[in-house]
Structure 1
Amino acid sequence: MSKFAQQHLISSIVPDPVTGAVEAAQLVDAFEHVDAMFFKRFGPKAAPPLSDTSDGGPQTQSAATMLESGTTAVVAIIHNDTHVLLAHVGDSRALLSHRGTAIPLTYDHKPTRADESARIELAGGRIEGYAVQRVMGRLAMTRAIGDPHLKQYGIVPTPDVHARVLTDHDNFLVLASDGLFDVVSNDEVVDAVQEHQSVDEAAETLVNLALSYGSRDDITVAVVRLRGWEAFCVPSSTTKGFIQVNTRNMTRPSS
């Protein structure tokens, strides 16, 4: 599912035909459109019953697997290096370094949030579990793209969208999955990035740091340079005002 979202999410973001800008409504539409595409292709009506193992072939197993597949997502749209529009579902996060201080820009969609658990219960779902709370005992998030088998219980692809004005004191953004943020604190993320001249090196360092801390989840990291990069980070020869983005995606092999 993550590859499906990667292939279709950005291309589904349609700027306003008059202004050319991307607003909150376009981001919401894009998330919901990709989810609808996935549901149409792999939803309950498209896939065989999960108990159907008549031929045991890979096609049946693949359909059943996709029926229970979902992904988190976080998207940042930067306008003229002065404004950022963020959208996310699940527990992928956006973190801003402002004057070297870590500022979370997103808040996880998890059953531990009172507003999210109430929404799930209103939709007919249940929150189960003690050490880790899960929707219907299955999913540790309350919003995701995909997961067709849990749609009826309140799992939605609708993102939270936030806008923020960027200033000369904003150094960089980090967009990452829980494979990073579950094991590396926000302050450690900022401290690690500031030691590098390039976003490429910074992203790679964060991935390696998460692995050294024993992360057992998929790790995706993007570091985005902002106007205040050189006021806080190691000086770089890169042209000022140019926003660089680099992504490092590492999937640990299953044991």
Structure 2
Amino acid sequence: MDLFGDLPEPTNITNEDPASKDQQPTDFPGEDRLEKRKRDHNPEDSQVDETNKAEKKVCKGLSKIGGYVAARRGEREEMQDAHVLLPDLSSFMQLPAEVSRLAYFAVFDGHGGARASQFAAENLHHTLISKFPKGEVENLDKLVRKCLLDSFRQTDEDFLKKASSQKPAWKDGSTATCVLIVDDALYVANLGDSRAVLCRMAEGDGNERCVTLALSKEHNPTIYEERMRIQRAGGNVRDGRVLGVLEVSRSIGDGQYKRCGVISTPDLRRCQLSQKDKFVMLACDGLFKVFSAEEAVYFVNKLLQDESVERKDGQTLEEGRYEAACQRLASEAVRRGSADNVTVILISIEF
């Protein structure tokens, strides 16, 4: 299943926590702004307000998430993929009053070298942290989207500046697929042909089955809108590539193609996590050259039912299963003949 648009919130979940909705509850309903400002200047009331906020965060009932990664060089001489797993960004920043959890996961698939992917892996989340809304905010969704767009633009500009200062200039580029989890809202920002998919369980014929939902949109120059932008910028598409060379139409880096319509503006998707959601998969195209998204999700879901999986010290059975599934999926991609680098991230979801 391929859903290119914001995924709807599930309507069949019972006992849903209202605090996980997009509209944040106000602590003082019916109070006008003047009275609220007066209260904010009262130290005792401010202390009560902070207590209420803390209680609100505790009562949100957020899902439990975990991150697992597997990377294989494949037949390539160099590993040009990079990845980031940060399940708790609160250790890097002060979260807004409306937010209880902030997590970040990303896969970067480099081409022309590993410098663009490494730069993005090292810097994009720091830029995002610096631009993320702070304090009490209104319209959090709009601000999060703007933060992601600005962070991608800034990361691209910073890398191009560094690349152009080198002798000779770096010509590296990279795809980017990033997942930002704000409480139980999943934001996906992506450039290029790496992907993010969601495994959501659904009832069918009396049994549960896993449904694969696309959370990202591929950017290659054969897509009509992408090709038209490239041609309007004075570039051309030959053999499915920009100027007959570059396979993607959006990327970080690739300075020599920016004048040809290759941009760093990501596609954004938002999905509200539900009790039916099992895991999110992020992977570079090295996986999807030998697996369809549905096959990859099915492969992982089947391994998650393995009772005989070996666990590392301190791991729960569930954690051991996800670790093993992630590693086996990457290895299977290489066994099936993927000559490219293969990087897979699994994000487990448990309510």
Fold-level similarity (TM above 0.5): yes
CA contact (8 A) 1:87 1:159 kept: yes
- Which one of 84, 87, 93 corresponds to residue 195 of structure 2? 93
CA contact (8 A) 2:222 2:241 kept: no
Which residue matches 1:59? Answer: none
* 1:16 is the counterpart of 2:133: yes
In 2, Cα distance between equivalents of 1:8 and 1:111: 27
Q: Counterpart of 2:297 in structure 1: which amino acid?
A: V
- Which one of 174, 189, 197 corresponds to residue 281 of structure 2? 174
Change (3 A) 1:178 1:19: farther
* 1:29 is the counterpart of 2:144: no
| Aligned partner of residue 216 in structure 2, secondary structure | coil
Which residue matches 1:205? Answer: 328
- C-alpha deviation, 1:18, in angstroms: 2.5
* 1:216 is the counterpart of 2:326: no
- C-alpha deviation, 1:202, in angstroms: 2.0
Of the structure 1 ranges 133-142 and 19-28, higher mean CA displacement relative to structure 2 is found in 19-28
In 1, Cα distance between equivalents of 2:212 and 2:136: 32
In 1, Cα distance between equivalents of 2:238 and 2:222: 11
* 1:5 is the counterpart of 2:120: yes
- Which one of 116, 136, 140 corresponds to residue 226 of structure 2? 116
| Aligned partner of residue 12 in structure 1, secondary structure | helix
In 1, Cα distance between equivalents of 2:297 and 2:258: 36
Which residue matches 2:242? Answer: 135
| Aligned partner of residue 175 in structure 1, secondary structure | strand
Higher relative contact order (CA 8 A, sep 6+): 2
- C-alpha deviation, 1:136, in angstroms: 0.9
| Aligned partner of residue 226 in structure 1, secondary structure | strand
Which residue matches 1:79? Answer: 182
- C-alpha deviation, 1:93, in angstroms: 0.4
Q: Counterpart of 1:174 in structure 2: which amino acid?
A: M
| Aligned partner of residue 16 in structure 1, secondary structure | coil
Query: Alignment RMSD, CA only?
Result: 1.5
CA contact (8 A) 1:192 1:205 kept: no
Which residue matches 1:252? Answer: none
Change (3 A) 1:165 1:69: same
In 2, Cα distance between equivalents of 1:203 and 1:37: 32
Encode CA deviations 1:178-229: one digit per residue, 9 max, x unaligned.
Answer: 01112111122112212133332222111111101111111111100113xx
Which residue matches 2:266? Answer: 159
CA contact (8 A) 2:186 2:271 kept: yes
Which residue matches 1:149? Answer: 256
Encode CA deviations 1:86-131: one digit per residue, 9 max, x unaligned.
Answer: 00000010010011111111121001211111111111110011xx
CA contact (8 A) 1:143 1:157 kept: yes
In 2, Cα distance between equivalents of 1:186 and 1:145: 24
Which contiguous aligned blocks of 4+ residues in structure 1 show a shift greater than 4 angstroms?
A: 19-22
| Aligned partner of residue 34 in structure 1, secondary structure | helix
Given the two structures, how large is their TM-score scaled by the length of structure 2? 0.56
CA contact (8 A) 1:123 1:152 kept: yes
Gaps of 5+ in 1: 49-62, 228-240, 242-255
In 1, Cα distance between equivalents of 2:229 and 2:288: 25
| Aligned partner of residue 126 in structure 2, secondary structure | helix
Q: Which one has the largest radius of gyration?
A: 2
Gaps of 5+ in 2: 1-115, 202-209, 305-317
- Which one of 173, 181, 186 corresponds to residue 70 of structure 1? 173
Encode CA deviations 1:144-198: one digit per residue, 9 max, x unaligned.
Answer: 0000111100111110111111110111000110011121111221122121333
In 2, Cα distance between equivalents of 1:181 and 1:94: 11
Which residue matches 1:192? Answer: 299
Q: Counterpart of 2:163 in structure 1: which amino acid?
A: F
In 1, Cα distance between equivalents of 2:120 and 2:290: 25
In 2, Cα distance between equivalents of 1:112 and 1:222: 27
- C-alpha deviation, 1:17, in angstroms: 1.4
